[in-house]
């Protein structure tokens, strides 16, 4: 492992962050997990847990001491405050591995949607710092389908966009690539686009989750307006729902890439394997 310094993982309690902290610890890395409430989380032995809030850059001064590399997740719906946060990071670390998104093109003024617009702004801001960087660009997260838990259990998934094609990626595969980006130099200055091994329509995703669990699942398409209302009723912030739904090209078919296997030496896990890994949610 080329990386010799401490690694700070932001978003450490999220789906990707939890996987990354665990994989780094297993690889023998010196890991520090940034969380808002240290008393409420459990990580593998040897992982240092510290309190901090990305919305308050000053709160990261202590967590960043002796840190060499940072895995950065940006959880906000605009880029406000990113430059100030990165100024703090630069005072301590030399490398940032930023979780961006597949489809971002920093050469375009107008991205395919508001979420991509934010990621493009963050990529540009990181580049301007002079820090070493890697921008991970995964396409759709398989973990987004955890919200189907109750519907999979009942055997019917009702959602919009039955024909939308997504190359869902397992959060563990994103984390595996991040380990390489944080602990070695081969990916420095690159923007690998990451996907799962196949592209599936929304309806095919629902059935693929049910199959390995022995649960036949039927898909029913609903109007996008109804899907928006359901998302808001489920507790998702209205501005996030609007950002996800209100852009014309966001649902273009996503490509299948070979980057996960090229970087990690292992083929990416399928949505069926992902379903087995999260069986407790769907049973």
Paired tokens of 227: 């899907």
Q: Distance of alpha carbon 90 from its chain centroid, rounded?
A: 23
> In angstroms, rounded to a whole number, what is the distance separating the alpha carbons of residues 53 and 267?
35
Residue 148 DSSP label: G
**Per-residue pLDDT at 249:** 45
The domain of 10 spans 6-142+170-195+256-268
Largest Cα–Cα distance of the chain, in whole Å?
A: 54
Q: Is residue 247 part of a domain?
A: no
Q: Is residue 215 part of a domain?
A: no
Q: Is residue 79 part of a domain?
A: yes
Q: Is residue 63 part of a domain?
A: yes
Q: The whole model's pTM is what?
A: 0.93
**Per-residue pLDDT at 248:** 39
Q: Distance of alpha carbon 196 from its chain centroid, rounded?
A: 13
Q: Tens-digit pLDDT profile for the chain (283 aa)?
A: 454 689 999 999 999 999 999 999 999 999 999 998 888 899 999 999 999 999 999 999 999 999 999 999 999 989 999 999 999 999 999 999 999 999 999 888 888 788 899 999 999 999 999 999 999 999 999 999 999 999 999 999 998 888 889 999 999 999 999 999 999 999 999 999 999 999 999 999 999 999 999 999 999 999 878 887 877 777 777 777 776 665 534 557 899 999 999 999 999 999 999 999 999 999 8
Q: What is the residue-wise DSSP string for 26-67?
A: HTT--EEEEES-GGG----TT-EEEE--TT-GGGGTTTTTTE
**Per-residue pLDDT at 81:** 95
Q: Is residue 274 part of a domain?
A: no
Q: Is residue 263 part of a domain?
A: yes
**Per-residue pLDDT at 88:** 97
Q: Is residue 21 part of a domain?
A: yes
Q: Is residue 164 part of a domain?
A: no
**Per-residue pLDDT at 77:** 86
CATH number for position 20: 3.40.50.720
Number of independent structural domains in the chain? 1
**Per-residue pLDDT at 112:** 79
> In angstroms, rounded to a whole number, what is the distance separating the alpha carbons of residues 42 and 207?
33
């Amino acid at each position: 492992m080329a990386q010799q310094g401490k690694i700070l993982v932001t978003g450490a309690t999220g789906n990707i962050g939890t996987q990354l902290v665990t994989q780094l610890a297993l690889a023998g890395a010196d890991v520090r997990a940034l969380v808002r409430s240290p008393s409420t989380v459990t990580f593998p032995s040897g992982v240092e847990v510290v309190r901090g809030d990305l919305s308050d850059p000053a709160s990261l001064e202590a967590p960043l001491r002796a840190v060499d590399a940072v895995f950065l997740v940006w959880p906000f719906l605009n880029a406000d405050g990113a430059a100030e946060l990165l100024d703090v990071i630069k005072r301590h670390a030399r490398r940032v591995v930023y979780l961006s998104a597949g489809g971002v093109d920093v050469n375009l003024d107008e991205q395919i949607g508001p979420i991509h617009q934010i990621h493009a702004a963050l990529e540009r801001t990181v580049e301007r710092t002079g820090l070493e960087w890697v921008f991970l660009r995964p396409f759709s997260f398989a973990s987004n389908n955890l919200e189907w838990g109750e519907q999979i259990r009942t055997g019917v998934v009702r959602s919009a966009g039955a024909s939308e094609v997504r190359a869902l990626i397992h959060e563990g595969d994103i984390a595996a690539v991040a380990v390489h980006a944080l602990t070695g130099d081969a990916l420095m200055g690159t923007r690998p686009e990451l996907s799962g091994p196949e592209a599936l329509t929304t309806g095919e995703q629902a059935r693929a989750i049910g199959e390995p669990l022995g649960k036949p699942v039927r898909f029913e398409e609903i109007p996008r307006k109804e899907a928006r209302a359901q998302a808001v009723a489920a507790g998702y912030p209205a501005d996030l729902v609007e950002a996800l739904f209100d852009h014309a090209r966001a649902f273009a078919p996503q490509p299948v890439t070979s980057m996960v296997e090229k970087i990690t030496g292992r083929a990416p896990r399928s949505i069926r394997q992902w379903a087995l890994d999260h069986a407790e949610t769907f049973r």
